[in-house]
Structure 1
Amino acid sequence: MSLPATSPQLGNPLATALREAVIAGIIMIGLALPLLGFQLQNQTGGGVALAYRFDWVVIAALIAFFGRFIVALSRPWIAHAFGKKPGSSARTTTEGTGLSGRLTSAHLGLVLGLVALVLPFLPISDRYIVDTATTVMIYVMLGLGLNIVVGLAGLLDLGYVAFYAVGAYSFALLSTTYGLSFWICLPLAGILAAFFGLMLGFPVLRLRGDYLAIVTLGFGEIVRLILINFNALTGGPNGIGGIPRLTFFGLPFANSAPDGGMTFHQLFGIEYAPIHRVMFLYYVIFTLVLITAMVSIRLRRLPIGRAWEALREDEIACRSLGVNVTAVKLSAFATGAMFGGFAGTFFAARQGLVSPESFTFWESAMVLMIVVLGGLGSQTGVVIAAIAVVAVPEFSRDLAHFRMLMFGAAMVLLMVWRPGGIIGTRAPSVVLGRSWRKKLADTVGGT
């Protein structure tokens, strides 16, 4: 396979690649100089001093230079290798890509699920890894819930953390005040969160786009301020402590039961280890994530799921076809909020303490980032994005310092080269068989 001849309009590919690389290096110097070039350091006698890290700026500029040079130089080969073949129809190409995308996404999701199932028993796993994986699972559940609102229904929600907070505080209040267990509070907290989703849905029925985002952002901030200032109910800035921890059907994960009863390790005749509770929490959230994913898949194939996707594509067309847009929007907000409430309930049971600091706008932005990076409407993409956003910085303290810079760069690069997200293909809700496609094609051709 030979490279196509260079046209006069394109010029010399080497010179073009070098020019683009130089521009990218200069831009990176301008960006990296204020972000990486200076650092404030504490002095021994008090005060701070300004330290210079120009070597970091040079490294960033060289990475941008050589990266852009390689990409620009390999662009003709990539275009020639993956270009459209002559004589292939657009319909055939689209159908093949969609089928390949569905198979790849399904297989990848199955592999991720199997790895997550056996993760605590792998030789490399320890308490820190399992605990970090539990945190990733919480964000996966939040991402799946927000994916219903943003990915399927196309409603931009910047206040999703409010439902997360409602679920956490609902379990904290019900368990500490009335002594209800986690399994009883879990559906109650989901119902309360869904009710708050309906409360948010009514004011935004006529809004879309930027206006919808502003209202949902304000709703999230209103809930956070209520949690801070309503001291009699929420404990104010101190939050609510003393939340009962999860037990195995009433058996605590402790060395000895406080009332002289049986504990988890005594029931199974094993030696007590703190890792047992961590593994139990991991499998609880793993089960909740599986249920959330299966319910989301099932809902998408039902008429309500098809209505969500139709609303995302064209609201005016939905109204003209007789779809009750009000009910569709409210159902999307309520369903997504319910899953957020479930995740908040587990979060409160895991931490044993809830406070307003855990439910800031950054949490909403982080969950929305997971949904966008993974691909709107893609469940496997949400899992991959949650691992990249939550887990990767946890295992490298150096990367954790530049988390925001890395996230911003990833969002920019993704929007430029892959706007659909990591898993950009979405399986259609309704797939016609070959005979139906042939009948439809004959009908259209006959008319």
Structure 2
Amino acid sequence: MFNVLKRSVLVALWFVFLTFPLMVVKVNTLKNIVEWRWLNMLWVFIVAFFLHLFWRWALDKRQLRSKKAELEDEGLMAPTLGQRILQDPRLYRPLLGVLAAVAILFPWILDVYQVNIMVLALIFVVLGLGLNITVGLAGLLDLGYVAFFAVGAYSYALIHQHFPVLGFWACLPIGGLIGALFGVVLGFPILRLRGDYLAIVTLGFGSIAKIVIENWEEVTNGAKGIANIPRPGFFGMEMSIGAATTYTYYLMILMVIFTIFVTNRLKDSRIGRAWMALREDEIACVAMGVDMARTKLSAYALGAFWAGAVGVIFAARNTYINPNSFTFMESAIVLSIVVLGGMGSIVGVIIAALILILMPEYLRAFADYRMLVFGAVMVLMMIFRPQGLIANVRKTYAHRRPAAEENNG
């Protein structure tokens, strides 16, 4: 303990030395004097001292968790509470019942503004689950995911302009299919790219999509955007803004449930196992006979399908879209949701999406520092919990000998 305190004092003194010209010395050009702010030096020392203590404590906790994880892999420790909740039906079924009750009653307890924010959060939940297929399961980095989101939104807006007979419910699968088509178009040129090259190409694809939307004024109306997009309908009923928002909220709840169901089934299917094999080792995956081209294209197409479908709902929710709604920041947020929640983890992605979308709305008092806090949280997560909030639990398969063989043995 003495060594830790000694090192913290030395680190704090070093920070005082580094920040001395900025934090202590102030030149007053009006009076031509130098002001000495000694109190700032004291605060820098105190903050640096306690931050270093916290840093050492966090590193020790990380090493302890690593040892616990090794023991758990060897079967020497009992599973944690989080693992028990996710694996034991007696625990997660009552919890799911409570969450379902809260979700159903949510619009009737809070006002329209809160419901509208929750709709946006659920949209990003679906986006995160869609990108989780491409990045989390298949391991294919995609920095231009917002392009598929924009394709779905503009598909609904343009179809409504030119073919008003096709309503929201007809455009919902069409937007998803068009997004999947663009996913295949993106996937073909980058089948053999990996790592940084793959990230650069997908980033370029997202930028190209935004530039095309801004400059193709004859079709997309350019930077002015498209207005008067109809909200989701229900058998032609006229609804107020509050009723339409509540209706969109329940629609998004069903969309999230459907996405979770499909994603979970895909994860346990043959193509899902091929995605995870591709993520772990592409060379070994191809050597075992997995079709790399079909596996990658399916990951891009299915991931883009959900972005295109939820883009239709986004356009219907806002009733107005323009290119500024589909910037690189949206792609970065969705990718952060996948990384923060845990690569391949469905529950983790849902929790991370709700945190990253709802927290900035409820912390508007700290609006000037939101991006600073966001960056700091991501750095700390990568250092102390790189597997995400909820790590993806791999299924294990054990071969059990028949009872007759055990008796004979």
Determine if contact 1:394/1:400 at 8 Å carries over to the other structure.
Answer: no
Alignment of 1:297-376 (within 5 A): 297-376=264-343
Separation in 2, partners of 1:58, 1:403: 27
- 1:91 maps to 2:74: yes
Number of the residue aligned with 2:177: 191
Number of the residue aligned with 2:161: 176
Amino acid at match of 2:259: T
Determine if contact 2:72/2:79 at 8 Å carries over to the other structure.
Answer: no
Number of the residue aligned with 1:19: 7
Separation in 1, partners of 2:44, 2:247: 43
TM superposition shift of 1:289: 1.1
Determine if contact 1:17/1:72 at 8 Å carries over to the other structure.
Answer: no
Q: Secondary structure at the match of 1:323?
A: coil
**Matching residue within 44, 53, 71 for 1:69:** 53
Determine if contact 2:155/2:175 at 8 Å carries over to the other structure.
Answer: yes
Determine if contact 1:193/1:338 at 8 Å carries over to the other structure.
Answer: yes
TM superposition shift of 1:100: 3.8
Q: Identify if the C-alpha distance between structure 1 residues 74 and 370 changes in structure 2 by more than 3 Å, giving closer, same or farther.
A: closer
CA-to-partner distance for each residue in 1:18-44, whole Å, 9 max, x for gaps? 52376379669979x99xxxxxxxxxx
Q: Identify if the C-alpha distance between structure 1 residues 75 and 196 changes in structure 2 by more than 3 Å, giving closer, same or farther.
A: closer
- Which has the higher mean CA deviation after the structures are superposed, 196-205 or 21-30? 21-30
What count of residue pairs does the alignment treat as equivalent?
A: 385
Determine if contact 1:29/1:61 at 8 Å carries over to the other structure.
Answer: no
Amino acid at match of 1:150: V
Q: Identify if the C-alpha distance between structure 1 residues 201 and 70 changes in structure 2 by more than 3 Å, giving closer, same or farther.
A: closer
- Give 5+ residue unaligned stretches, structure 2: 23-36, 404-409
Alignment of 1:28-47 (within 5 A): none
Amino acid at match of 1:189: G
- Which has the higher mean CA deviation after the structures are superposed, 127-136 or 322-331? 127-136
Q: Secondary structure at the match of 1:241?
A: coil
Q: Identify if the C-alpha distance between structure 1 residues 171 and 93 changes in structure 2 by more than 3 Å, giving closer, same or farther.
A: farther
Q: Identify if the C-alpha distance between structure 1 residues 101 and 219 changes in structure 2 by more than 3 Å, giving closer, same or farther.
A: farther
TM superposition shift of 1:67: 4.3
- Give 5+ residue unaligned stretches, structure 1: 1-12, 35-52, 255-273, 439-447
- 1:416 maps to 2:399: no
Amino acid at match of 2:397: L
Determine if contact 2:133/2:303 at 8 Å carries over to the other structure.
Answer: yes
Separation in 2, partners of 1:326, 1:390: 35
Amino acid at match of 1:127: V
Separation in 2, partners of 1:107, 1:370: 23
Number of the residue aligned with 1:406: 373
Identical counterparts, % of pairs? 44
Determine if contact 1:246/1:252 at 8 Å carries over to the other structure.
Answer: no
When normalised by structure 2's length, the TM-score is: 0.84
Separation in 1, partners of 2:40, 2:104: 40
Number of the residue aligned with 1:445: none
Q: Identify if the C-alpha distance between structure 1 residues 418 and 437 changes in structure 2 by more than 3 Å, giving closer, same or farther.
A: farther
Alignment of 1:4-403 (within 5 A): 13-20=1-8, 23=11, 62=46, 65-70=49-54, 72=56, 90-93=73-76, 96=79, 100=84, 102-103=86-87, 107=92, 110=96, 112=99, 114-122=101-109, 125-179=110-164, 180-254=166-240, 274-403=241-370
TM superposition shift of 1:384: 1.4
Determine if contact 2:12/2:46 at 8 Å carries over to the other structure.
Answer: no
TM superposition shift of 1:286: 1.3
Q: Identify if the C-alpha distance between structure 1 residues 231 and 119 changes in structure 2 by more than 3 Å, giving closer, same or farther.
A: same
Q: Identify if the C-alpha distance between structure 1 residues 177 and 68 changes in structure 2 by more than 3 Å, giving closer, same or farther.
A: same
Number of the residue aligned with 1:5: none
CA-to-partner distance for each residue in 1:79-126, whole Å, 9 max, x for gaps? 77995599x68431489469547438993983655533332233xx22
CA-to-partner distance for each residue in 1:108-160, whole Å, 9 max, x for gaps? 983655533332233xx222211111111011110000000000000000000
Determine if contact 2:15/2:44 at 8 Å carries over to the other structure.
Answer: no
Q: Identify if the C-alpha distance between structure 1 residues 58 and 361 changes in structure 2 by more than 3 Å, giving closer, same or farther.
A: farther
Q: Secondary structure at the match of 1:184?
A: helix
TM superposition shift of 1:60: 8.3
Determine if contact 1:160/1:337 at 8 Å carries over to the other structure.
Answer: yes
When normalised by structure 1's length, the TM-score is: 0.77
Determine if contact 1:189/1:341 at 8 Å carries over to the other structure.
Answer: yes
Amino acid at match of 1:282: Y
Q: Identify if the C-alpha distance between structure 1 residues 198 and 279 changes in structure 2 by more than 3 Å, giving closer, same or farther.
A: same
Q: Identify if the C-alpha distance between structure 1 residues 63 and 152 changes in structure 2 by more than 3 Å, giving closer, same or farther.
A: farther
Separation in 2, partners of 1:71, 1:420: 19
Separation in 1, partners of 2:15, 2:222: 46
Q: Identify if the C-alpha distance between structure 1 residues 374 and 16 changes in structure 2 by more than 3 Å, giving closer, same or farther.
A: same
Separation in 2, partners of 1:333, 1:146: 9
Separation in 2, partners of 1:137, 1:311: 29
Determine if contact 1:20/1:72 at 8 Å carries over to the other structure.
Answer: no
Determine if contact 1:176/1:244 at 8 Å carries over to the other structure.
Answer: no
